[in-house]
Amino acid sequence: MASTQRRDLIVGTFVLVGLLAIAYLSIAIGGISNPVAGHLRLYAAFDEIGGLTARAPVVVGGVKIGTVERIELDPSFRALVTIRVASDLKLPDDTSASILTQGVLGDQYIALEPGGSAAMLADGGEIQFTQSAVILERLIGKVVQGLGVESQ
């Protein structure tokens, strides 16, 4: 019966190692978020969001603190972006949000810049100061137009 026991041990080890690999993929690499920790939602309205998509990262000083949850059009035709951040994060209510690009051709993300106000943003609060995405084509268009004006 010793060989059966040995085989059982091997199978058990295999199953455990396999499950560990799945767990590692989901937690460490997949970035499973702790479902127990609470989240709060912030809103920010932008004139132009460029290529921003849902699940894009939201950073403060380069550190990822949340994600873009959804993007919709508000009644005044601005893009209303819902941002989800951990609830233990306290941001001043004069925080500003801008849409930036990672590298030249990278994905777009939202960078928050905390202000100096003593009052903090609560759940459902709106970020008042927003800066739209820079659209490369429009920028090039402006430069080309500008050059045309100069040469005339």
Partner 1 sequence: MSLLPVHTLLWIVQSLGARITSGVQALGKMARFASRAFNATFQPPLRLRRIWNEIYINGVLSLSVVCISGSAVGMVLGVQLYRTLSRFGADEALGTAVGITLVTELGPVLTGLLVSGRAGSAMAGEIGSMVATEQLDGLRMMSIDPMDFVVSPKLIAMIFVMPLLSALFIMFGLGGGYLAGVTLLGVDAGSYWGGIESAITLEDHVAQSMLKSLCFGALIGLIATYRGFHAAPNVEGVSRATTQAVVAASVSLLIADYFITALWGV
Residue ranges binding partner 1 (CB under 8 A):
7-8, 10-11, 14-15, 17-19, 21-22, 24-26, 28-32, 55, 57, 64
Q: Distance between the two ends of the chain, CA-based, in angstroms?
A: 96
CB of 142 to partner 1, least distance (A): 27
Q: Which is closer to partner 1, CB of 15 or CB of 73?
A: 15
Among candidate residues 92, 90, 95, the one with its CA nearest the CA of residue 119: 92
Q: Position of tokens 């609470």?
A: 38
CB of 81 to partner 1, least distance (A): 19
* Sign of the four-CA dihedral 59, 36, 81, 28: positive
Separation CA 41–CA 70 (nearest Å):
11
Q: Which is closer to partner 1, CB of 22 or CB of 122?
A: 22
CB of 34 to partner 1, least distance (A): 12
Q: Which is closer to partner 1, CB of 22 or CB of 73?
A: 22
Q: Which is closer to partner 1, CB of 63 or CB of 119?
A: 63
Separation CA 54–CA 70 (nearest Å):
5
